[in-house]
Structure 1
């Protein structure tokens, strides 16, 4: 969308907002969650494959699809980080963005179980409710830590966090 706006004259403000939203989604949600998916999936897979991706699924889903879901997302995110200097939001905004993503995800995950009695991830059937809640909280904390790590990596790659500019409104408040 932003690239399309590059060729349309007079759309500078819209283009800036599209880039800002794109950077926010990429840095605060997409990249941390992509890395979390890869880390969690392959960690559990190495411990006991049946807990996350039972062998019976191989009959209907070839390995290349498994990798496109659980590996390629991280490779694409890291490649994009290498090629593009993104503006990173504050920790507070990143945490809010992650919560806006993870809360509906948790509702879907737990809601599916409550409606069908089936866990989307087999390892959840082995956990107590307390452990499931802790796992959900650790996913949030882990994603927030991954956000911080990618922000740091971006700093070393690009020489700055490319932090979003401070708004005029917040500058006025700082002067008082």
Structure 2
């Protein structure tokens, strides 16, 4: 993809996410009725949606820096440190967690919205902001797969990092519940401990599945081109 268009896409994604987070932090004022049912502990950082939105913003802002300082070469050869950091961050955290947030949110929303997004939230969170946090991240990450080559780690390492990210968040959720007796997500409040553990393990497994999906998609979009370019470089070295 043209380098300027790639930069434009990354800047657009960062701007949309940045404004969404700014609005969420500065303009969303929950009513007392909602505050009475929630807690201040952990602030917005107790919600994976908020964490993920910040992760996505950090990634796309970082991509803008990478676009300006490096080339957009689509092979594993001659990768810069910045590109390697970008690739690992995207493949193991940004893409799997981004898809996880979107798919699980709308999946549970379709089953019973009160499990993840009680109707009271509609009174102070605009519809467009809900979509910035739970919808547009999915097309942004899919477009990113198509416009920018990412070098994936070996499958075991990638799965370990993706699963590890979900483990860290699960521990955070359990710690909040331990300290405050408050479950971040209502669905966890209605489950017993056996099903809570199974639910968390299922979430970890789903994040790993999304890592494998991203790896497969990356290979489908860029694998042949990468092999072709790498083989050309090897041939040119032999003839030299």
- State the TM-score, normalized to the length of structure 2: 0.60
Is the Cα–Cα contact under 8 Å of residues 151 and 161 in structure 1 kept in the other structure? no
Tell me the distance in 2 between the aligned counterparts of 1:131 and 1:36: 19
1:48 aligned counterpart, secondary structure: helix
Count of matched residue positions in the alignment of Structure 1 and Structure 2:
156
Shift of the 139–112 alpha-carbon distance from structure 1 to 2, 3 Å rule, reads same
Match of 2:82 among 3, 18, 34: 18
Q: Deviations over 1:36-85 (max 9, x none)?
A: 11111111100111111000111121111111111121111101011111
Partner of 2:150: 86
Q: CA deviation at 1:4?
A: 4.5
Tell me the distance in 1 between the aligned counterparts of 2:90 and 2:102: 16
Is the Cα–Cα contact under 8 Å of residues 32 and 147 in structure 1 kept in the other structure? yes
Structure 2: give runs of 5+ residues left out of the alignment: 1-64, 72-78, 228-240
Match of 2:220 among 153, 156, 172: 156
- State the TM-score, normalized to the length of structure 1: 0.80
Tell me the distance in 2 between the aligned counterparts of 1:117 and 1:55: 23
Partner of 2:196: 132
Is the Cα–Cα contact under 8 Å of residues 96 and 210 in structure 2 kept in the other structure? yes
Partner of 2:92: 28
Structure 1 stretches of 4+ moved >3 Å: 3-7, 159-163
- 2:179 maps to 1:110: no
Structure 1: give runs of 5+ residues left out of the alignment: 8-14, 164-176
Q: CA deviation at 1:104?
A: 2.2
